[in-house]
Structure 1
Amino acid sequence: MVNESFKKSCEDMTKLIESCWDENNPDDGKTFDERLAEKTANLEGQDKLVMDQVIGW
């Protein structure tokens, strides 16, 4: 059984990744990778653990 806080963290990190897609930021002049790096720079706790596993950093 999946821990509810882990599930929420996974869902939140999925939304964060989706928010970095180019089509969601058409005029900011940044790449997906730049947006993702900015949005993940200050993650902490479980969110950081989940994102580290997802992006392999």
Structure 2
Amino acid sequence: MDKDFKKSCNDMTELIESCWDENNPNDGKTFDERLAEKTANLTGTDKMVMTEILGGE
């Protein structure tokens, strides 16, 4: 069973926060590059939540 919506929202918030520049000094990547890498393989509720956050379809 997929995780519940609230848990997914919390997890996706943490994922986004982990992409901030100050959390990744000297890795040479932009926020958008980090976010794209970390969201590329999301599934289920996590994918649905992140799609809504990012305004995609």
TM-score (norm 1): 0.91
The unaligned stretches of length 5 or more in structure 1 are none
Post-superposition Cα deviations, 1:5-53, rounded to whole Å, max 9, x if no partner, equal 1000000000000000000001100000000000000000000000000
Say which SS state the counterpart of residue 30 (structure 1) adopts. Answer: coil
Kindly report which structure 2 residues correspond to 1:1-57, keeping only aligned pairs within 5 A, or say none. 5-57=4-56
The higher relative CO (CA closer than 8 Å, separation ≥ 6) is in: 2
> Per-residue deviation at 1:54?
0.1
Q: TM-score by structure 2 length? A: 0.91
Runs of 4+ in structure 1 over 3 Å off: none
Overall identity of the aligned pairs, in %: 76
Where structure 2 has 5 or more consecutive residues not aligned to the other structure, the ranges are none
- Alignment size in residue pairs: 54
**CA distance, structure 1, for counterparts of residue 34 and residue 55 of structure 2:** 17
